[in-house]
Structure 1
Amino acid sequence: MHLSNQRNRSNENGNNPLDIRRNLRIFISKMLNFILFQIVDLLMLEINCLEFASIKVREIKHFRNYTYNDFNYFSIE
Protein backbone atom coordinates (compact mmCIF):
# COMPACT_ATOMS: atom_id res chain seq x y z
CA MET A 1 0.00 0.00 0.00
CA HIS A 2 1.26 3.46 -0.86
CA LEU A 3 2.37 5.75 2.01
CA SER A 4 -0.12 8.52 1.17
CA ASN A 5 -2.95 5.98 1.30
CA GLN A 6 -1.82 4.93 4.77
CA ARG A 7 -1.94 8.55 5.96
CA ASN A 8 -5.44 9.08 4.64
CA ARG A 9 -6.73 5.76 5.92
CA SER A 10 -8.59 5.80 9.23
CA ASN A 11 -7.50 3.52 12.04
CA GLU A 12 -9.77 0.86 13.57
CA ASN A 13 -11.58 3.44 15.73
CA GLY A 14 -12.53 5.51 12.72
CA ASN A 15 -10.24 8.40 13.73
CA ASN A 16 -7.54 9.71 11.50
CA PRO A 17 -4.27 9.96 13.48
CA LEU A 18 -3.54 13.32 11.85
CA ASP A 19 -6.91 14.64 13.05
CA ILE A 20 -6.15 13.42 16.57
CA ARG A 21 -2.79 15.21 16.55
CA ARG A 22 -4.38 18.36 15.14
CA ASN A 23 -7.13 18.28 17.76
CA LEU A 24 -4.56 17.69 20.48
CA ARG A 25 -2.51 20.66 19.26
CA ILE A 26 -5.62 22.85 19.25
CA PHE A 27 -6.57 21.68 22.74
CA ILE A 28 -3.07 22.31 24.13
CA SER A 29 -2.97 25.72 22.47
CA LYS A 30 -6.32 26.71 24.00
CA MET A 31 -5.25 25.44 27.43
CA LEU A 32 -1.99 27.40 27.26
CA ASN A 33 -3.88 30.52 26.19
CA PHE A 34 -6.30 30.05 29.09
CA ILE A 35 -3.47 29.55 31.60
CA LEU A 36 -1.60 32.58 30.24
CA PHE A 37 -4.77 34.69 30.49
CA GLN A 38 -5.26 33.58 34.11
CA ILE A 39 -1.66 34.50 34.98
CA VAL A 40 -1.99 37.93 33.37
CA ASP A 41 -5.33 38.47 35.11
CA LEU A 42 -3.82 37.61 38.50
CA LEU A 43 -0.87 39.92 37.86
CA MET A 44 -3.21 42.77 36.96
CA LEU A 45 -5.18 42.14 40.15
CA GLU A 46 -1.93 42.12 42.14
CA ILE A 47 -0.85 45.43 40.58
CA ASN A 48 -4.24 46.99 41.34
CA CYS A 49 -4.05 45.80 44.95
CA LEU A 50 -0.53 47.19 45.33
CA GLU A 51 -1.60 50.55 43.88
CA PHE A 52 -4.60 50.67 46.22
CA ALA A 53 -2.39 49.76 49.19
CA SER A 54 0.15 52.46 48.32
CA ILE A 55 -2.64 55.05 48.09
CA LYS A 56 -3.94 53.97 51.50
CA VAL A 57 -0.43 54.17 53.00
CA ARG A 58 -0.06 57.71 51.64
CA GLU A 59 -3.45 58.64 53.13
CA ILE A 60 -2.46 57.22 56.52
CA LYS A 61 0.87 59.07 56.47
CA HIS A 62 -0.95 62.27 55.52
CA PHE A 63 -3.54 61.68 58.25
CA ARG A 64 -0.82 61.22 60.90
CA ASN A 65 0.35 64.79 60.31
CA TYR A 66 -2.85 66.05 61.94
CA THR A 67 -3.50 66.14 65.65
CA TYR A 68 -6.68 65.39 67.53
CA ASN A 69 -7.47 69.11 67.87
CA ASP A 70 -7.47 69.57 64.11
CA PHE A 71 -10.54 67.32 63.96
CA ASN A 72 -12.21 68.41 67.18
CA TYR A 73 -14.60 70.95 65.66
CA PHE A 74 -16.69 71.33 68.81
CA SER A 75 -13.85 72.26 71.12
CA ILE A 76 -14.22 75.58 72.87
CA GLU A 77 -11.09 77.66 72.53
Structure 2
Amino acid sequence: MIDLLSTLLALLLGGAGIWFAARRSGAKAAREKVAAEAEASQRKTRERIENADLPPLDDAGAMREWLRSRSPGKR
Protein backbone atom coordinates (compact mmCIF):
# COMPACT_ATOMS: atom_id res chain seq x y z
CA MET A 1 0.00 0.00 0.00
CA ILE A 2 2.81 2.39 0.88
CA ASP A 3 4.60 1.45 -2.35
CA LEU A 4 1.49 2.40 -4.33
CA LEU A 5 1.18 5.75 -2.54
CA SER A 6 4.87 6.57 -3.00
CA THR A 7 4.66 5.68 -6.70
CA LEU A 8 1.57 7.87 -7.17
CA LEU A 9 3.22 10.70 -5.25
CA ALA A 10 6.35 10.42 -7.42
CA LEU A 11 4.24 10.49 -10.60
CA LEU A 12 2.27 13.47 -9.32
CA LEU A 13 5.40 15.42 -8.40
CA GLY A 14 7.05 14.53 -11.72
CA GLY A 15 4.00 15.70 -13.64
CA ALA A 16 3.86 18.93 -11.63
CA GLY A 17 7.55 19.52 -12.32
CA ILE A 18 7.10 19.02 -16.03
CA TRP A 19 4.08 21.34 -16.05
CA PHE A 20 5.94 24.12 -14.18
CA ALA A 21 8.99 23.76 -16.46
CA ALA A 22 6.78 24.07 -19.54
CA ARG A 23 5.08 27.19 -18.16
CA ARG A 24 8.40 28.77 -17.33
CA SER A 25 9.78 27.99 -20.78
CA GLY A 26 6.70 29.48 -22.45
CA ALA A 27 6.90 32.62 -20.33
CA LYS A 28 10.57 33.05 -21.20
CA ALA A 29 9.82 32.67 -24.91
CA ALA A 30 7.05 35.26 -24.63
CA ARG A 31 9.38 37.73 -22.87
CA GLU A 32 12.03 37.21 -25.53
CA LYS A 33 9.48 37.82 -28.29
CA VAL A 34 8.31 41.07 -26.68
CA ALA A 35 11.91 42.20 -26.23
CA ALA A 36 12.70 41.45 -29.89
CA GLU A 37 9.65 43.40 -31.05
CA ALA A 38 10.59 46.37 -28.86
CA GLU A 39 14.13 46.32 -30.21
CA ALA A 40 12.88 46.29 -33.79
CA SER A 41 10.54 49.19 -33.06
CA GLN A 42 13.35 51.20 -31.47
CA ARG A 43 15.61 50.47 -34.42
CA LYS A 44 12.97 51.69 -36.89
CA THR A 45 12.38 54.84 -34.84
CA ARG A 46 16.09 55.54 -34.63
CA GLU A 47 16.45 55.11 -38.40
CA ARG A 48 13.58 57.56 -39.00
CA ILE A 49 15.25 60.07 -36.68
CA GLU A 50 18.63 59.71 -38.35
CA ASN A 51 17.16 59.93 -41.87
CA ALA A 52 14.92 62.95 -41.22
CA ASP A 53 15.36 65.84 -43.63
CA LEU A 54 15.90 68.88 -41.45
CA PRO A 55 16.39 72.44 -42.61
CA PRO A 56 19.47 74.31 -41.40
CA LEU A 57 19.25 74.73 -37.64
CA ASP A 58 20.29 78.39 -37.75
CA ASP A 59 17.27 79.36 -39.88
CA ALA A 60 14.35 79.84 -37.47
CA GLY A 61 11.80 80.50 -40.22
CA ALA A 62 12.70 77.31 -42.06
CA MET A 63 12.49 75.30 -38.83
CA ARG A 64 9.06 76.79 -38.08
CA GLU A 65 7.80 75.86 -41.55
CA TRP A 66 9.23 72.36 -41.19
CA LEU A 67 7.36 71.90 -37.90
CA ARG A 68 4.13 73.20 -39.44
CA SER A 69 4.40 70.84 -42.39
CA ARG A 70 5.19 67.95 -40.05
CA SER A 71 2.00 68.36 -38.03
CA PRO A 72 -0.49 70.41 -40.07
CA GLY A 73 -3.50 69.90 -37.77
CA LYS A 74 -1.91 71.53 -34.74
CA ARG A 75 -1.92 75.28 -34.09
TM over 0.5, yes or no? Answer: yes
> Are positions 1:75 and 2:60 aligned together?
yes
- Could you say which structure has the larger radius of gyration? 1
Q: Residue type matched to 1:28 in 2?
A: G
SS in 2 for 1:23: helix
Ranges of 4+ aligned residues in structure 1 off by more than 3 Å? 67-70
How far is the alpha carbon of 1:68 from its aligned partner? 5.2
In the other structure, the counterpart of 2:8 is: 22
Aligned residues with identical type, % of pairs: 8
Aligned with 1:37 (options 6, 18, 23): 23
Counterpart Cα distance in 1 of 2:55 and 2:7: 75
> Are positions 1:47 and 2:36 aligned together?
no
Q: Residue type matched to 2:41 in 1?
A: I
User: How much is the aligned-residue C-alpha RMSD, in angstroms?
Assistant: 2.1
Q: Residue type matched to 1:44 in 2?
A: A
How far is the alpha carbon of 1:65 from its aligned partner? 1.3
Q: Which runs of 5+ in 2 are unaligned?
A: 63-75
Counterpart Cα distance in 2 of 1:58 and 1:68: 18
How far is the alpha carbon of 1:56 from its aligned partner? 0.5
Deviations 1:17-76 (A, max 9, x none): 011000100001001100110011000000000000000000001111125547x5x824
